[in-house]
Chain A
Amino acid sequence: MNWKAFGAMLARDAHVARRNIIQITFQTFLQPLLFVFIFGRVMVGSGYMPAVYKSILLPGIIAISMVFTGIWAVAMPLIAEFQWTREIEDRLLAPIDIAWIAIEKVVAGMIQAIVAGLVVLPLAWLVLGHGVDISIHAPMKFVAMILLVALFAASGGLALGCSMNQQHIGLMFSMVITPMIFFGCTYFPWSALQNFPILQKAVLINPLVYASEGLRAALVPQVPHLSTTAILLVLCFFNILLLVVGLRQFEKKAVS
């Protein structure tokens, strides 16, 4: 394993992210904060939503920000770099095994997802105003959830980015990402679906459900949520699956 090359590739990704910092900031934070403002502040303030909704919404918004950022950070550059120009070629020719180049992309995506989550948390808290009842009562649980969600986002980005062409990006968002967010228990807890028993079972195939519920378990344990053990196990399962698929697809794209 060539750590120098791995580190240099991380440095390259950090350099490019710094260069695009303004674009990345708006892309990552604008939509979740608008959502938080309208649903958490305006709708709760005007009495359309109960006050507890603020605390329920916040973990979901963190999950969306992290997952969206992680997928975007890995998938978009990969789609672009494997297309036409084959910009990624200079890294494929670096003295390191090809799988590590994919893993570097995943690590870079994880870091971006974690930063996004940790920035959205205080920002959203600020936008929501008083009445948010969250606490990091179990730091280890919080860290484990953040790491697993970040890895899910980044390995999902790897699998998607290496399985799609440029012309399918729009389709990826409307067919994969949007339904995932709406059925991902981000804007409501899973327990709220009890009046829709079929839907409640069906959404369990959506990994984002476990990300949102996991962050709820870590931040607002007083709200009913899925069992923490189940969440950890399922997130691990999806992470391994996506990583294996992503690495295989990456090698397929990288070598003729």
Chain B
Amino acid sequence: MAVGVRTENLRKVYNSAPPMAAAGGFIARSDAKDSKQPKQQIAALDGLSLEVRPGEIFGLLGPNGAGKSTTVGVLTTRVRATSGHAWVGDHEVWQEQAKVKRLIGVVPQRPNPDFSLTAREILIFHAAYFGIASKARNERADALLEKFKLTDRANQMVRGFSGGMMQRLSIARAMMHDPQVLFLDEPSAGLDPQTRILLWEIVREYNQLGKTILLTTHYMEEADSLCHRLAIVDNGRIIAVGTPGELKRSIPGGYLLRLQFGKPTAELLQRLQSLAGVREVRPLDTTGADVYADRGGSLIPEIAAVAVAAGAELRDVHISEPSLENLFLHHTGRSLRD
């Protein structure tokens, strides 16, 4: 039976930056320095409520520092919320940690394999922690090593593994005990395009077994193609939730037309602005313009006509469909990459 995930009004205030568990161990803390400086309070989550339905692939999309990893940290028992509640299935995460940990698998932002073990031993011992019998865990480890193309390196220490291999091993490890809910924190960061596609296939396949998947990302492409539903997170709050399509439709003038003309466009810009459906025109160097509009291809003939009337020739057109990038821009006034 599929298991859902829910949070209610989560708040998390860090007294001293940075959050180690939340950041997946990327940043080292220097306690000595912190104690001399006045304590700095950082609110990573500011009343975050969300509901992930059983069996769906749910994405948390937002820029770095938005609170995505902290949310995953709270849901996976690794971060204690300052206030609010989180549930995995019917279990309150902080109160029933061991039960929750049985239901979840976690792929951290930075691979954190047990460096004292070989790849195969990492999987075997992980399964042993979950009480899986010896025969079953050996079979499952072999199957996952095969699936993640790690069989030929199975008996090597992971110290010499590339980032991509460690990432694959992290995912294999998270799947070893067949968790009902899989958390992936920035799973495709640092992966080459080929491995990314392999990852997406594996996530979809795992989801089809009835498992719930919660992933964080700041790649729109990933969120768009993989997730059933998305939440856009900024400054520790959810600012929009819906399917990728719904979210994109919610932006007025979601289309972006990037135009190039043969001649300088100063006079042309005013004419473009007056076309029906055009929201904003921004000049690009002297011969180009970005046009934000609520329609795409259907504007082209009118633009071409206006260009001819102004004595300029339309040389190049690029149309971007409504995107999550535009959506984020619309909701926050900032680009996802800022």
- Interface residues of A, Cβ cutoff 8 Å to B: 2, 4-5, 8-9, 11-12, 15-16, 19, 77, 83-87, 89-98, 165, 254-256
Residue-wise, chain B 19-63 has the 8 Å CB interface mask toward A (1 for contact) of 111101100101100000000000000000000000000000000
A95 near B102: Cβ-Cβ < 8 Å: yes
Which of chain A's residues have a CB closer than 8 A to the CB of B102?
Answer: 95
Which of chain A's residues have a CB closer than 8 A to the CB of B25?
Answer: 83-86, 89
**B76 contacts the other chain (CB 8 A):** yes
B window 107-128: CB within 8 A of A = 108, 110, 112-117, 121-122, 125-126, 128
Smallest CB gap from A77: residue in B: B116
A19 near B173: Cβ-Cβ < 8 Å: no
Shortest CB distance A83–B (Å): 7
A92–B112 Cα distance when bound, in Å, is 12
B130 near A5: Cβ-Cβ < 8 Å: yes
B99 near A95: Cβ-Cβ < 8 Å: yes
Which of chain A's residues have a CB closer than 8 A to the CB of B116?
Answer: 16, 19, 77, 87
A187–B304 Cα distance when bound, in Å, is 96
Shortest CB distance A203–B (Å): 30
Q: List 19 A-B contacts (CB under 8 A).
A: A8-B129, A9-B129, A15-B125, A16-B116, A84-B28, A85-B112, A86-B112, A87-B112, A87-B116, A89-B106, A90-B114, A95-B98, A95-B99, A95-B101, A255-B78, A255-B80, A256-B14, A256-B79, A256-B80
Shortest CB distance A78–B (Å): 13
Which of chain B's residues have a CB closer than 8 A to the CB of A254?
Answer: 21
Tell me which of B31, B80, B113, B116 has the highest count of chain A C-beta atoms within 10 A of its own C-beta. Answer: B116
Tell me which of B76, B98, B128, B129 has the highest count of chain A C-beta atoms within 10 A of its own C-beta. Answer: B129
Shortest CB distance A181–B (Å): 26
B21 near A93: Cβ-Cβ < 8 Å: no
Smallest CB gap from A16: residue in B: B116
Smallest CB gap from B80: residue in A: A255
Which of chain B's residues have a CB closer than 8 A to the CB of A11?
Answer: 125, 128
Total number of B residues with any Cβ neighbor in A under 8 Å: 40
B window 178-215: CB within 8 A of A = none
A87 near B31: Cβ-Cβ < 8 Å: no
A92–B30 Cα distance when bound, in Å, is 22
Smallest CB gap from B70: residue in A: A256
Shortest CB distance A236–B (Å): 30
B129 near A91: Cβ-Cβ < 8 Å: yes
Other A-B pairs beyond A84-B28, A165-B31, A256-B73, 16, CB < 8 Å: A4-B128, A8-B125, A15-B125, A16-B116, A77-B116, A86-B108, A87-B112, A89-B108, A91-B129, A93-B101, A93-B104, A94-B129, A95-B129, A95-B131, A97-B98, A256-B78
**B97 contacts the other chain (CB 8 A):** yes
Shortest CB distance B331–A (Å): 28
Shortest CB distance B111–A (Å): 9
B122 near A8: Cβ-Cβ < 8 Å: no
A22–B200 Cα distance when bound, in Å, is 44
A86–B26 Cα distance when bound, in Å, is 9
Tell me which of A5, A94, A97 has the highest count of chain B C-beta atoms within 10 A of its own C-beta. Answer: A94
Which of chain B's residues have a CB closer than 8 A to the CB of A77?
Answer: 116
Smallest CB gap from B73: residue in A: A256
Tell me which of B73, B79, B112 has the highest count of chain A C-beta atoms within 10 A of its own C-beta. Answer: B112
A96–B113 Cα distance when bound, in Å, is 19
B19 near A87: Cβ-Cβ < 8 Å: no
A83–B177 Cα distance when bound, in Å, is 26
Cross-interface CB contact of B97 among A5, A87, A90, A97, cutoff 8 Å: A97
A77–B112 Cα distance when bound, in Å, is 14
Which of chain B's residues have a CB closer than 8 A to the CB of A19?
Answer: 116
Smallest CB gap from A92: residue in B: B78
A90 near B131: Cβ-Cβ < 8 Å: no
Which of chain B's residues have a CB closer than 8 A to the CB of A94?
Answer: 101, 126, 129-130
A95–B104 Cα distance when bound, in Å, is 10
B73 near A90: Cβ-Cβ < 8 Å: no
A43–B106 Cα distance when bound, in Å, is 59
Residue-wise, chain B 75-108 has the 8 Å CB interface mask toward A (1 for contact) of 0111110000000000000000111011010101
Shortest CB distance B80–A (Å): 5
A255 near B79: Cβ-Cβ < 8 Å: yes
Cross-interface CB contact of A90 among B80, B98, B122, cutoff 8 Å: B122
A215–B45 Cα distance when bound, in Å, is 54
Smallest CB gap from B27: residue in A: A84
Known: A95-B129, A95-B130. A2 touches B98 (CB 8 A): yes
Which of chain B's residues have a CB closer than 8 A to the CB of A98?
Answer: 97
